């Protein structure tokens, strides 16, 4: 299976690039975040022409998550039990079973600043997500939780840790929330960067951050050993952040299990050595 996750920052604004990327990369399953797409407006016909079925969850102007699959899309679930809201639950989680793998696409609340109700909301959301994933794990099925976690797991995952002191995305409480997810039995499938030592997935649009490679690793793939153990390669598709009209996030592409009908990996991205 070729699995990808991408915060597209509006599926409507990104549609030409998304379609071209799908045609080039041909993932089996794609988790999208920040679709920013009102109910009923998801371009299901356009991605359908490329062979993808769609499960999407939206709440209008902000947020929005989706799963595209060309290997089955069963038992779709929107949100999760007791999901916290602000104050109402937002469109931040969707899950489905694709070729025997339970796949989640999540968009963790930003948190804004630590001294903020948005930050408390973020921590509460992650804590209840943990309970929901614990329930999923009891099925014994392979599980992959992909998305924009809005947390940089370590200081190496931001371009300048000193600049982030006192900011969200790096606080001990946020990092502990990720550690609590991993403690369920989920492994961090760390992708290979295309450039530089850090597998950043996000670069601010402003001030030439991308060209200076001043990024963050906040998009993550957490997977059970039953999936992670079969991973042959994982990389950040930095090419998708280039050029005119990109998202501010790059996709992560993971190949796991049996080889499928996919284009070869970009040059220099050898399969994971294990």
Residue numbers of the site for DNA (CB under 7 A)?
A: 7, 9-10, 12-14, 34, 36, 38, 60-62, 109-110, 112, 118, 148, 150, 168-169, 195, 202, 204-208, 210-212, 216, 218, 242-245, 248
Q: CA–CA separation, 181 vs 134, rounded Å?
A: 9
Q: CA–CA separation, 213 vs 208, rounded Å?
A: 9
Q: How far is the CB of 202 from DNA (least distance, A)?
A: 6
Tokens of 28: 């089996």
Q: How far is the CB of 149 from DNA (least distance, A)?
A: 10
Q: How far is the CB of 115 from DNA (least distance, A)?
A: 14
Bridge partners of residue 56, in order along the sequence:
66
Residue 209: count other Cβ atoms within 10 Å of its Cβ.
17
**Looking at beta carbons only, is 102 or 169 nearer to DNA?**
169
| Residue 77: its H or E element | strand 74-78
**Looking at beta carbons only, is 40 or 140 nearer to DNA?**
40
Give the C-alpha distances (Å, rounded to integers) separating 11 from 68, 141, 179: 12, 30, 31
Strands (E), 81-132: 93-98, 101-107
Residue 25 · residue 237 · CB < 8 Å:
yes
**Looking at beta carbons only, is 182 or 195 nearer to DNA?**
195
**Looking at beta carbons only, is 154 or 212 nearer to DNA?**
212
Q: How far is the CB of 60 from DNA (least distance, A)?
A: 7
Q: How far is the CB of 71 from DNA (least distance, A)?
A: 28
**Looking at beta carbons only, is 27 or 64 nearer to DNA?**
64
Cα–Cα nearest to 136, from 174, 107, 96: 96
Q: How far is the CB of 257 from DNA (least distance, A)?
A: 30
Q: CA–CA separation, 101 vs 69, rounded Å?
A: 12
Tokens of 84: 């916290």
Residue 138: count other Cβ atoms within 10 Å of its Cβ.
7
**Looking at beta carbons only, is 17 or 141 nearer to DNA?**
17
């Amino acid at each position: 299976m070729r699995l990808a996750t991408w915060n597209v920052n509006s599926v409507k604004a990104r549609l030409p690039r998304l379609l071209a990327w799908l045609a080039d990369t041909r993932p089996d399953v794609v988790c999208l975040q920040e679709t920013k797409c009102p109910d009923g407006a998801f371009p299901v016909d356009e991605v359908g022409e490329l062979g993808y079925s769609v499960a999407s969850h939206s709440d209008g102007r902000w947020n929005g998550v989706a799963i595209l699959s060309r290997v089955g899309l069963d038992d779709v679930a929107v949100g999760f039990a007791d999901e916290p809201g602000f104050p109402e639950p937002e469109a931040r989680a969707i899950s489905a079973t694709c070729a025997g793998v339970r796949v989640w696409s999540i968009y963790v609340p930003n948190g804004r600043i630590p001294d903020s109700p948005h930050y408390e909301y973020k921590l509460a959301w992650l804590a209840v997500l943990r309970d929901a994933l614990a329930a999923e794990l009891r099925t014994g099925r392979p599980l992959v939780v992909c998305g924009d976690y809005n947390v940089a797991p370590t200081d190496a995952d931001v371009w300048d840790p000193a600049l982030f002191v006192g900011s969200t995305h790096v606080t001990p409480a946020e990092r502990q929330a990720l550690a609590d997810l991993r403690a369920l039995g989920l492994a961090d499938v760390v992708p290979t960067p295309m450039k530089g030592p850090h597998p950043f997935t996000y670069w601010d649009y402003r001030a030439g951050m991308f060209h200076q490679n001043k990024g963050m690793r906040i998009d993550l793939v957490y997977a059970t050993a039953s999936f992670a153990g079969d991973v042959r390669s994982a990389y950040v598709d930095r090419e998708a952040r280039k050029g005119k009209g990109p998202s501010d996030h790059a996709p992560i592409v993971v190949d796991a299990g049996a080889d499928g009908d996919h284009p070869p990996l970009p040059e220099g991205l050898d399969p994971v050595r294990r």
